[in-house]
Amino acid sequence: MTARIIDGKAFAQDVRARVAEHVARIKEANGITPGLAVVLVGDDPASEVYVRSKGKATVEAGMNSYEHRLPADTPESELLALIRRLNEDPAVHGILVQLPLPSHLDSNLVINTIDPAKDVDGFHISNVGLLGTGQKAMVPCTPLGCLMLLRDLHGSLAGMEAVVVGRSNIVGKPMAQLLLGDSCTVTIAHSRTRDLPDVCRRGDILVAAVGRPEMIPGDWIKPGATVIDVGINRIERDGKKRLVGDVDFESAAKVAGAITPVPGGVGPMTIACLLANTLTACCRAHGLREPEGLTA
């Protein structure tokens, strides 16, 4: 079998076009322009690239982008003061603080200082709690993007066995919550899981969010399964810099029914969902009708 390759880039383009259309409509009808503030502390080159592409995508969707770059040694009090100002700013509907933060900053405190209604990453404890109890929340972008791809492919996910490898607060745990919300039977695996290959082989859906280049080979995958590869790993091979996932694409594509590539899979969906969440936050702030099919 050769797996169908899930075109995350094309799907993300479609999401972005739908966001842009809705943005244009509320600008026209209500005179409101959604705004996203991105805060970057320090000058990590990978984060730089990522923040720039977010800013570009935001403007392309017709929204306002506000970038705040702070030096790596910014005192915590200053960062918190900036967040409080953004919380109060009516032009800002979404706030994203790029992670990871320099080690002298308490990222839990920083995230929990963001107004939950503006927390477009969905990392604030109240959004985590709302998601976990099946209430309306801001949903983390990467898991939301994965869910959109899965729903598009399968329609209903009810009753499917889903295995999520990785239990981080930003990917693994919220992904598991969303799959549970769609009535999958969910297993969360991690570095202390016994017999990981066998656990992975249970999954009709296998989500890999580990951060280890090409760790999951084809023979860990149930034949015909849908594989969602969240991993973004920069490696060097044959003297060339390359981006690879957590799944060994070549062997996995021979076994899986469908698989996301890296790049061009989950990554572009993350940015598209960030735009969707900013629009959703704006609509909720102003009591406007929310976009359809762009939330969990």
Ligand X SMILES: NC(=O)C1=CN([C@@H]2O[C@H](COP(=O)(O)OP(=O)(O)OC[C@H]3O[C@@H](n4cnc5c(N)ncnc54)[C@H](OP(=O)(O)O)[C@@H]3O)[C@@H](O)[C@H]2O)C=CC1
Ligand Y SMILES: Nc1nc(=O)c2c([nH]1)NC[C@@H]1CN(c3ccc(C(=O)N[C@@H](CCC(=O)O)C(=O)O)cc3)C=[N+]21
Residue 252 binding partner per list ligand Y, ligand X, none, with a CB distance cut-off of 5 to 8 Å that depends on partner kind:
none
Binding site for ligand X (CB under 6 A): 142, 165-168, 170-172, 189-193, 196, 209-212, 230-233, 266-267, 270
Question: Which of 153, 143, 154 is closest to 188 using CA atoms?
Answer: 143
Q: Which of 119, 121, 204, 229 is catalytic?
A: 121
* Annotation says 204 is catalytic: no
HEC string of 151-213 equals HHHHCCCCCCEEEEECCCCCCHHHHHHHHHHCCCEEEEECCCCCCHHHHHCCCCEEEECCCCC
Q: Let me know: does 169 contact 123? Beta carbons within 8 Å.
A: yes
Annotated binding site for NADP(+): 166-168, 232
Question: Which of 51, 34, 91, 32 is closest to 277 using CA atoms?
Answer: 34
Contact flags string 81-110 toward ligand Y, x per CB under 6 A: ---------------xxxx-----------
Cα 253–chain centre separation: 23
* Annotation says 98 is catalytic: yes
Q: Among the residues of the chain, which ranges form H helices?
A: 8-30, 45-60, 76-88, 107-113, 125-132, 141-154, 172-181, 196-200, 249-253, 266-285
- Tell me whether residue 99 or residue 285 sits nearer to ligand X (CB atom): 99
Contact flags string 107-146 toward ligand Y, x per CB under 6 A: --------------x-------------------xx----
Q: Does 42 bind ligand Y (CB under 6 A)?
A: no
Q: Which residues have a Cβ under 8 Å from the Cβ of 99 and sit 6 or more positions away?
A: 107, 170
Contact flags string 148-187 toward ligand Y, x per CB under 6 A: ----------------------------------------
* Annotation says 27 is catalytic: no
Q: Does 267 bind ligand Y (CB under 6 A)?
A: yes
By annotation, the residues acting in catalysis are 54, 98, 121
- Judged by the rule CB under 6 A, the positions of this chain that interact with ligand Y are 50, 96-99, 121, 141-142, 232, 243, 262-264, 267-268, 270-271
